[in-house]
Structure 1
Amino acid sequence: MKIEEAIKQARFGNNFQKAVVNLIYTSNWLRDTQADIFKKYDILPQHFNALRIIKGRCPKPVSAGEIKDVLLDKASDVTRLLDKLVKQGYVKRQLCEYNRRKMDITITTKGLQLLEELEAPIASFYEDLATRLSQEEALLLSDLLDRVRR
């Protein structure tokens, strides 16, 4: 469906405005589609992103600041995200033995199991995208988005 149909707007001020509106609309669509996958696990896409970051550092601990630096959603409240993940048993938080002002965050076995369970539905999500775009088109889209942020 074209963006004009999706938002019921026939004209845009210019192609840049149309592109930005389309980008925001599509970003929200992707977020909502992924959120449906995570809903049954009682997590949000931001929790999944944080778990992947923490797993990527495993077995070394990571600090909240390091997570925030690479989190896709920069507006997220990392402390609140981590509080929920700790409460659910997916991550463990403890004082750093070398710097008592810093918290060390590590992923638990339960957190690793959750990520393993999510592999199939996430793979399915990307397979669905592969029916809409070729590998080359996906790379071109990614390169164009990189240019937008330059």
Structure 2
Amino acid sequence: MNVEEVIKTTKVIPVETRTIIHLQLVANKVNEILSQALKPHGVSLQQFNVLRILRGRKGEAANLSTLNERMVTKMSNTTRLVDKLILKGYVKRNVCEHNRRKVEIFITSEGTKVLTGMDESIKNAQHKILKDFEIEELQQLNTLFDKF
């Protein structure tokens, strides 16, 4: 992806600025491809992330704080994401009788089932995104990203 072509400029962009713009363009393209992969499943990338976190807990409850900590994209509207997933039947929420502030969130069997289908869509999207890279290049990219 040529930054200058994408933003339609002939100016010389300083390397620091070009790098930041390039990272933003790549992040936007990755999000666009992943979002398109999830569109047929009727969930957003953030909702998918919540479902993966819950599945990874292997039946152990999560709370909103746990979800927020583990989200790839940090956001303040996790409650809304969970509410939408509850309406779809993919997660359930239990409120403690003795402490109404304690809320436990679980993935349902239906949520686990649909997530398995989403996994294949995401795997295909990841392949589409990374198809032009060798494993060594991906390892090098990850080493460079670790500097952040």
Give TM-score, length-normalised by structure 2.
0.92
In 2, are the aligned partners of 1:12 and 1:18 still within 8 Å (CA)?
Answer: no
Q: Which moved more, 1:121-130 or 1:58-67?
A: 121-130
Give the aligned partner of residue 143 of structure 2: 143
Distance 1:99 1:29 in 2: 44
Letter paired with 1:82 = V
- The CA deviation string for residues 75-97 of structure 1, in whole angstroms up to 9 with x for no partner, is 35100100000010000001146
> CA–CA distance in 2 between the matches of 1:11 and 1:110?
53
Opposite residue 36 of structure 2, the aligned amino acid is D
Tell me the equivalent position of 1:23: 23
Secondary structure at 1:92 match in 2: strand
In 1, distance between residues paired with 2:76 and 2:93? 18
State the Cα RMSD in Å. Answer: 1.6
Question: Where does structure 2 lack aligned partners over 5 or more consecutive residues?
Answer: none
- Trace 1:109-120 onto structure 2 (pairs within 5 A): 109-120=109-120
**SS of alignment partner, residue 40 of structure 1:** helix
Secondary structure at the counterpart of residue 18 of structure 2 = helix
The answer as to whether partners of 1:37 and 1:121 remain within 8 angstroms in 2 is yes
Q: Helix, strand or coil: the match of 2:41? A: coil
User: Structure 1 residue 56: deviation in Å?
Assistant: 0.6
| Unaligned segments of structure 1, at least 5 residues | none
Which residue of 1 is the match for residue 8 of structure 2?
8
How far 1:143 sits from its partner (Å)? Answer: 1.8
Whether 2:49 is the aligned partner of 1:81: answer no
CA change 1:13–1:121 in 2 (3 A) is: same
TM-superposed deviation, 1:36: 0.7
Alignment of 1:29-48 (within 5 A): 29-48=29-48
What's the CA shift string for 1:30-55, capped at 9, x where partnerless?
A: 10111111111111000001110111
**DSSP-derived class of the 1:66 partner:** helix
- 1: CA distance, partners of 2:12 / 2:111: 45
